């Protein structure tokens, strides 16, 4: 299984406001949300983005089932405006972004996202030059500590960064397993969560420049949405959710958006049981006004 889509019913009911509209799925992944939307609304079309080669291959595999209703663009969603104008699209009727990594990316040990990987990579788009291995082996202790603190809220960030730099004196750190073990030599297990969770999350966010990509996507959305078009953003991390919340509020204050989710939407207990990854998902939705 490539990935189990989070809250597909909620996503589809918020996103589609025009039954024969053109929509953007910024994060195609395994195509789960896209397929659900196409099935539920037979007259919509979708332009799908993903920067990952596996997602692009997945699109090619499923293309015939999409019946010419999906156009795929392998690009960073922060380039949404330019990439759409390259195919002569200037406005769309709704935009979905399901931020973060897919289960496939996480579970594939050759990608280096998991604690048990024999590589240290973490790039969602392998065309990007910066890998987790380069960061871990070349950044100063201060810079590493700042990354772990800023993107992971890791309270032992300095000690962990120091331990990494001490270990570097014996040679390159080549694998996620080695990194995990260094972190675990500094931090003891508390409860069920692996002590390296926050460091791995921080490193992934940094390597993929995730917060800045989200920021840039949000900046572009008002220019790309038609009046009454909606933006639906699913985030899994408090830093991302905060960025979305502030952006929507600022645009609502300027009468550009109406916020449709006064409280964030979260997964039902039943969905969390079926798909534990949905536990931390938060949906926020806004609608562009005709101002």
Ligand X SMILES: C[S@@+](CC[C@H](N)C(=O)[O-])C[C@H]1O[C@@H](n2cnc3c(N)ncnc32)[C@H](O)[C@@H]1O
> Residue 85 Cβ, how far from ligand X at the closest point, in Å?
17
Interacting positions 209-248 with ligand X (CB under 6 A):
213
Using the rule CB under 6 A, is 15 a contact of ligand X? no
The two structure tokens encoding residue 75: 């690009």
Euclidean distance between the first and final Cα of the chain, in Å? Answer: 43
Quick note: the x/- pattern for ligand X over 118-157, rule CB under 6 A, is ------x---------------------------------
CB of 78 or CB of 156, closer to ligand X: 78
Q: Kindly tell me which residue out of 21, 37, 52, 122 binds ligand X, with binding defined by CB under 6 A.
A: 52
Q: Is 100 in the site for ligand X (CB under 6 A)?
A: yes
Q: Which stretch binds ligand X (CB under 6 A): 31-39, 160-168, 170-178, 239-247?
A: 31-39
Nearer CB in complex with ligand X: 52/121: 52
For residue 244, give every residue at least 6 positions away whose Cβ sits within 8 Å of its Cβ, in sequence order, or none.
214, 218, 233, 235, 284
Q: Which residue has the tokens 């534990």?
A: 276
* Residue in 208, 198, 199, 210 with CA at minimum distance from that of residue 144: 199
- If phi > 0 it is left, if psi is from -120 to 50 it is alpha, else beta; for residue 44 that is beta
Tokens standing for residue 273: 């049981």
Token representation of residue 263: 């409280």
CB of 8 to ligand X, least distance (A): 8
Cα 204 to Cα 20, 122, 133, 142, 230, distances in angstroms: 37, 6, 11, 18, 29
Segment interacting with ligand X, rule: CB under 6 A, options 51-59, 168-176, 239-247, 250-258: 51-59
**Cβ-Cβ contacts under 8 Å for 239 (sequence gap 6 or more):** 151, 205, 211
Q: Please list the residues that pair with 24 across neighbouring strands.
A: 47, 95
Distance in Å, CB of 90 to ligand X, minimum: 20
Considering the complex, what minimum distance in angstroms separates the CB of residue 270 from ligand X? 18
Stretch that binds ligand X, among 49-57, 146-154, 156-164, 264-272 (CB under 6 A): 49-57
Supply the minimum distance, in Å, between the C-beta of residue 140 and ligand X.
27
Both tokens of residue 232?
């639906």
Site of interaction with ligand X (CB under 6 A): 3, 5, 27, 29-33, 49-52, 55, 76-78, 98, 100, 102, 124, 213
């Amino acid at each position: 299984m490539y990935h189990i889509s989070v809250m597909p019913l909620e996503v589809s009911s918020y996103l589609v406001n025009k039954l024969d509209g053109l929509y953007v799925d910024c994060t195609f992944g395994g195509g789960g949300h896209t397929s659900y939307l196409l099935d539920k609304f037979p007259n919509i079309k979708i332009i799908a983005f993903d920067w990952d080669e596996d997602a692009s291959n997945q699109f090619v595999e499923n293309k015939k089932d999409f019946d010419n209703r999906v156009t795929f663009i392998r690009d960073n969603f922060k380039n949404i405006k330019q990439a759409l104008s390259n195919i002569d699209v200037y406005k769309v009727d709704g935009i979905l972004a399901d931020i973060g990594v897919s289960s496939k990316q996480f579970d594939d040990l050759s990608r280096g996202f998991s604690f048990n990987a024999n590589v240290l990579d973490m790039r969602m788009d392998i065309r990007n030059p910066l890998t987790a291995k380069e960061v871990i082996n070349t950044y100063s202790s201060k810079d590493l500590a700042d990354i772990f603190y800023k993107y992971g809220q890791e309270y032992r960030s300095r000690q962990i960064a120091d331990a990494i730099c001490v270990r570097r004196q014996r040679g390159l750190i080549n694998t996620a397993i080695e990194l995990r073990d260094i972190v675990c030599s500094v931090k003891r297990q508390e409860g069920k969560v692996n002590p390296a969770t926050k460091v791995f999350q921080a490193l992934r966010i940094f390597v993929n420049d995730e917060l800045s990509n989200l920021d840039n996507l949000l900046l572009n959305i008002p220019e790309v949405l038609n009046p009454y078009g909606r933006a639906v953003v699913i985030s899994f991390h408090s830093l991302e959710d905060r960025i979305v919340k502030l952006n929507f509020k600022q645009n609502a204050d300027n009468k550009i958006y109406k916020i449709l989710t006064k409280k964030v939407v979260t997964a039902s207990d039943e969905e969390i049981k079926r798909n534990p990854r949905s536990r931390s998902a938060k949906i926020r939705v806004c609608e562009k006004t005709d101002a």
